[in-house]
Amino acid sequence: MITIGKTVLSGSEPEQVRDQTEGLAPDRLRDLAISLATCPDLTVSVITYADGSQELEVLHTGPPHRTEDTIDQRRFAGRPGTTLPIASPADLHHAVEMVRQTLGATSAA
């Protein structure tokens, strides 16, 4: 059994999000979490494992509300497992925009 903790960042005040992401490394991942937590159609969380490692979880929770029977996985076929750099402010901005565009395209479908 794997024990995890989940802290939902979305819906929190910006100062509280900064506090909740204090241990998230690298700093650019923290910046990404803070930026995405302000998006109304996303639910952003920090997952913490028993060994102290953490990861960022970003879920599309805005309209349209689909079920496992209606998700069009082909939307993401061109980018499976995409890894984006977040080392610079420009990289961070690009990552935020790519997440927003990908989820926006899914919402428009």
Whether 65 shows a pLDDT value over 70: the answer reads no
pLDDT value at residue 73: 47
pLDDT tens readout for residues 32-53: 999 999 888 889 999 999 998 8
Q: In terms of C-beta density within 10 A (0-12 exposed, 13-18 middle, 19 or more buried), how is residue 32 classed? A: buried
Q: Which of 55, 1, 50 is nearest to 23 (CA)?
A: 55
Whether 107 shows a pLDDT value over 60: the answer reads no
pLDDT value at residue 50: 92
What is the pLDDT confidence band of residue 66, given thresholds at 50, 70 and 90? low
- Give yes or no for a contact between 50 and 3, defined as CB atoms under 8 angstroms apart: yes
Alpha helices, DSSP H, located in the chain = 14-20, 27-36, 89-108
What pTM did the predictor assign? 0.67
